[in-house]
Amino acid sequence: NAGVMQNPRHLVRRRGQEARLRCSPMKGHSHVYWYRQLPEEGLKFMVYLQKENIIDESGMPKERFSAEFPKEGPSILRIQQVVRGDSAAYFCASSADRGNEKLFFGSGTQLSVL
């Protein structure tokens, strides 16, 4: 019973490149959340998606960032034209329903922008 799978674990990009982070939720979960973790800032909510729909993107920067959760395949967090300030750990979580009373987290993707 695999948990939430994120890949890659580490991603290095140069300024201006694109970063794609993938997240496969737990089996049977159709609700996915993306969080960003910076040292001394805790976890910051970015976006909540259900299959094929973005439900809440209030925490996601309006430019360069996008997220999707297609009918088939993993959820993707895409960062275009990365800058050094995008360096962080990005965590994906999933839940069985909208109530999100228990989130299951992946091990994260550490993005480093050179």
Partner 1 sequence: AQSVAQPEDQVNVAEGNPLTVKCTYSVSGNPYLFWYVQYPNRGLQFLLKYITGDNLVKGSYGFEAEFNKSQTSFHLKKPSALVSDSALYFCAVRASSGGYQKVTFGTGTKLQVIP
The region of 13-21, 63-71, 74-82, 94-102 touching partner 1 under the rule CB under 8 A is: 94-102
Is the CB of 76 or the CB of 89 nearer to partner 1? Answer: 89
Q: Single out the residue of 12, 55, 83, 114 in contact with partner 1 (rule: CB under 8 A).
A: 55
Q: Is 34 in the site for partner 1 (CB under 8 A)?
A: no
Place of tokens 């259900």: 50
Q: Single out the residue of 11, 19, 35, 111 in contact with partner 1 (rule: CB under 8 A).
A: 35
Rounded-to-5 percentages of helix, strand, coil across the chain: 5, 50, 45
Which are the contacts of 63, defined by CB distance < 8 A and separation ≥ 6? none
Q: Is 103 in the site for partner 1 (CB under 8 A)?
A: yes
Is the CB of 33 or the CB of 65 nearer to partner 1? Answer: 33
Whole-number Å distance between alpha carbons of 112 and 83? 10
Whole-number Å distance between alpha carbons of 97 and 112? 32
Q: Is 90 in the site for partner 1 (CB under 8 A)?
A: no
Closest CA to 65 of 13, 19, 15: 19
In the structure encoding, which two tokens stand for residue 62, read together? 């309006």
Q: Which residues bind partner 1 (CB under 8 A)?
A: 4, 6, 33, 35, 40-45, 48, 55-56, 58-59, 91, 93, 98-108
